[in-house]
Structure 1
Amino acid sequence: MKKLLMSTALAVVVGVTGAVSGLAEAKTLKASHQWPGGKGDVRDEMVQIIAREVGKANVGIDVKVYPGKSLYKPKEQWGAMVKGQLDISAFPLAYAAGRHPEFDSTLMPGLVKNHDHAKRLNSSPFMDDIKKIINDAGVVVLADAWLAGGFASKKQCILGPETMKGQVTRAAGKAFEQMLVGAGASIASMPSSEIYNALQTGVLDAANTSSGSFVSYRIYEQAKCLTAPGANALWFMYEPLLMSKKSFDKLNKDQQAALMAAGQKAEDFFFDAAKGLDDKLVKAYKDAGVEVVEMTSEQAKAWRDIANETSYKTFAEKVKGGDMLIKKALAVK
């Protein structure tokens, strides 16, 4: 009887210890991004979906979201993920092109035609190459996301290349900067979160960014004219949900599976939401009294001709494997 009681007590102790151990393994993951939180930005919502879905999965993970560049500055997030200091980020990949020049191909003028074309690119040899570079650098893709964008100016509407001459403008990524310089613009580089103040203080005359950022940052308060993406969008940018590989590898299989499942839900949400962003953009700017225009196919072609002689040519010549990378992207119809 005494042996039976001792065995029972031991089993209880082991059970309690196991439960405590399980609780001790619960992890809080830090998720960071540069956009306003709780204000309808779809990139923030993608991260919030990750947090909610992983929480519902009950696998011992809590995701704490730090919006509005409150934890890291926009371009610092990549290095923080590589080092394992930051767990998750909604991150414009071209921001890390200084470390990996190949990433500029994910913000190449005219490379992506529309949202459906972007979705086809996600499963292409082009993106296989990009994701291998991401993974080898120590980062994991949780969800793919592409945003369309356009131009805004407080001077004049930006349509054909000649309308850009003399304007100081901002564009994310070297490829767009090279094309804009080729059209006679001056460049001031900065994250999209700084565009509003730069327009307000006269540092910028114009800006080139995503539909989501144009609305989230209320740039309509500083703009005279918006060039909406329309049927001839030049601007598409890859802004995926990423995770530190060091952080991901520390998780157990159930936790990893829960994160990937949450990532798929976030990606599905984003694909539908991104299409609606362009309409939301036009409405927000018209409601604010801003003139809204779209490029014609001829104007868009004139821009692509400049891009071919500037950004595309430079990328093919200076980035190792750049020519083949672009060919793979252009092969996706």
Structure 2
Amino acid sequence: MVLVHGYLAGGFAAKDKCITKPEDMPGLQTRAAGKAFEQMLAGAGASIASMASSEVYNAMQSGVLDAVNTSSSSFVSYRIYEQVACYTPAGEYALWFMYQPLLMNKAKFDSLTEEQQKALLAASEKAQAFYLEEAKKEDAVSAEVFRENGVEIAEMSAADFDAWRTLAKETSYKAFVEETPNGQQLLDLALSVE
């Protein structure tokens, strides 16, 4: 069972230009964080290079990559700011989120006393609020680190976000529905989350 729902956000960084909308992607050799993002970015005209986050710095330094999509924390911890001209952090609008819940075995939870279950659920509620607050701080800190290192900061607009979502419907959403049992039902549930 899920005790704490947690999400880490991410954004884009590129060597030579800012990325805020699909029209910014054609011709870029890009590392995306996950299959669905690879499908969407390829649909926008990018070439995809699959690699671990730990390999991005060297790939950008050697010219193998022009752009990257990853988490705010990875951008900072791997010092990607040393290799790029522009960073589009998670802000008011963000496309990329990594779900990182805190899980507990349901049978073990059920074996706890009612008092223990209530205490655990109350603590989980506090932990979830803390997680969200800290994740937002991480996004803000990443933008500040890039800014301090002379990297231009770009902001995604509502229109940019809508353009990405339109592209996703034609690419990654479509593939998910076709490849996944009950795919449309699951996609509808995911999209219903505010």
* TM-score tier after normalising by the smaller chain length: 0.7 to 0.9
* In 1, Cα distance between equivalents of 2:23 and 2:29: 14
State the partner residue of 1:160.
Answer: 21
TM-score normalized with structure 1 length: 0.51
* In 1, Cα distance between equivalents of 2:191 and 2:23: 26
* Deviation readout 1:141-175 (Å, 9 max, x if unpaired): 45321012110011211122121111111111111
How many residues in Structure 1 have an aligned counterpart in Structure 2?
Answer: 188
> Are positions 1:307 and 2:168 aligned together?
yes
Q: Secondary structure at the match of 2:70?
A: strand
Select the structure with the greater relative contact order (CA < 8 A; seq sep ≥ 6). Answer: 2
Equivalent positions of 1:176-187 (< 5 A) are 176-187=37-48
* In 2, Cα distance between equivalents of 1:242 and 1:213: 23
State the partner residue of 1:236.
Answer: 97
Aligned-pair Cα RMSD in Å: 2.5
Q: Secondary structure at the match of 2:185?
A: helix
Distance 1:217 1:183, change over 3 A: same
Q: Secondary structure at the match of 1:230?
A: coil
> Are positions 1:207 and 2:68 aligned together?
yes
The residue type paired with residue 300 of structure 1 is F
Query: In percent, how many aligned pairs have the same letter?
Result: 57
State the partner residue of 1:298.
Answer: 159
**57, 69, 78: which one aligns with 1:217:** 78
The residue type paired with residue 95 of structure 2 is L
* Deviation readout 1:183-237 (Å, 9 max, x if unpaired): 1001111232322222222221111011122122221111111012222211222
* In 2, Cα distance between equivalents of 1:193 and 1:259: 35
* Deviation readout 1:79-100 (Å, 9 max, x if unpaired): xxxxxxxxxxxxxxxxxxxxxx
Distance 1:288 1:330, change over 3 A: same
**248, 254, 272: which one aligns with 2:133:** 272
Q: Secondary structure at the match of 2:193?
A: coil
Equivalent positions of 1:46-195 (< 5 A) are 141=2, 143-195=4-56
* In 2, Cα distance between equivalents of 1:260 and 1:141: 10
The residue type paired with residue 89 of structure 2 is A
* In 1, Cα distance between equivalents of 2:46 and 2:98: 21
> Are positions 1:322 and 2:179 aligned together?
no
Q: Is the deviation greater in 262-271 or in 210-219?
A: 262-271
Q: Is the deviation greater in 192-201 or in 176-185?
A: 192-201
Unaligned 5+ runs, structure 1? 1-139
* In 1, Cα distance between equivalents of 2:103 and 2:59: 28
* In 2, Cα distance between equivalents of 1:311 and 1:141: 26
* In 2, Cα distance between equivalents of 1:237 and 1:165: 25
* In 2, Cα distance between equivalents of 1:191 and 1:241: 23
Question: Where has structure 1 moved over 3 Å in runs of 4 or more?
Answer: 140-143, 256-268
The residue type paired with residue 236 of structure 1 is F
